[in-house]
A = this chain, B = another copy of it.
Amino acid sequence: MNPFDATRVSGQVGPSALDVCEKCGSRVTGICRPLDVAALDDVASESEQTSLPARATLFREGDPATRAFSIMNGTVKLTRLLPDGRQQVVGFRFAGDIIGYTTAKTYPFDAELLTPSQFCRIDRPKLDKLLRTYPTLERRLLDLCLEELAQTQEHVVTVGRRTAESRVAAFILGLVEAQRRRGPLPKEIAMPMTRADIADFLGLTLETVSRTLTGFRKRNLIAEPAHQRMQILSMAGIMQLAEGEGD
């Protein structure tokens, strides 16, 4: 399980060139995957594209949940606030993921861009109409939600029961997995989040994350050839730390 995104659904195969929607150019890995051309057309006409710079927020925790977003490219950080002002990152989202769909009146978390991003935006009333028109769409949403739930539970395990080293290793594996699901795995993977973001995701401090990552580097498990880029040198080593060292 991977706490990073909501794209993978049971039985779903990896993306292929055919999955690209000619309407909006986004890979059809998100909600639209099960739709036929007519339905895609319909969805496309109801939604609109936007793009925003890094650090922009799509919405904040508590805002009225008036629309949902489908990420076309870029990375988004989802956070919840604590009463004392600190934050917990509840997940990262990438191209193809859906953000902000909820039956509640308000969003349950902040959504902030880590990179400049493009996405499709659709108003809730329109989306609800589409859901009624295309039952497979609702089915799809349920699938995504169930998958996301399983991932979040997995993340609870990570945060609740693992050492700092094991958490960071699990985080790296999650990053790799998210990347892999979106296409062939490059030697160098993007890591647009800061140490602080990772720490807030894993329930650690940024210092501990930094120390752990330098530890990994010194043991030649990973390399960081450039800012926000990472190379996995020993996948086996990372996996061992993530799983075996749960203790």
A206: CB under 8 A from chain B? no
Cβ contact of A88, chosen from B10, B109, B142, B160, cutoff 8 A = B160
Once the chains are docked, how many angstroms separate the CA of A155 from the CA of B216? 29
Q: Contacts A88-B161, A246-B82: A156 and B152 contacting too (C-beta < 8 A)?
A: yes
A153: CB under 8 A from chain B? yes
**Most chain B C-beta atoms within 10 Å of own C-beta, residue among A9, A91, A135, A142:** A142
Chain B residues, Cβ within 8 Å of A155:
156
Are A148 and B150 in contact (CB-based, < 8 A)?
Answer: no
A149: CB under 8 A from chain B? yes
Are A148 and B149 in contact (CB-based, < 8 A)?
Answer: yes
Are A80 and B135 in contact (CB-based, < 8 A)?
Answer: no
A165: CB under 8 A from chain B? no
Identical subunits present: 2
Measured CB to CB, the nearest residue on chain B to A157 is B88
Q: How many residues of A contact B (CB 8 A)?
A: 47
Q: Which of A13-21, A40-48, A97-105, A173-181 contacts B (4 or more CB under 8 A)?
A: A97-105
Are B80 and A157 in contact (CB-based, < 8 A)?
Answer: yes
List residues of A (118-163) whose CB comes within 8 Å of B's CBs.
135, 138-139, 141-143, 145-150, 152-157, 159-162
Chain A interface residues (CB < 8 Å from chain B)? 1, 9-11, 80, 82-84, 86, 88, 90-91, 101-105, 108-109, 135, 138-139, 141-143, 145-150, 152-157, 159-162, 202-203, 243-244, 246-247
List 20 additional A-B contacts (Cβ < 8 Å) besides A82-B162, A86-B246: A1-B108, A10-B105, A83-B243, A84-B246, A86-B161, A86-B247, A90-B156, A91-B153, A104-B147, A108-B153, A135-B135, A135-B138, A138-B138, A142-B142, A145-B145, A145-B149, A156-B156, A156-B159, A159-B159, A159-B203
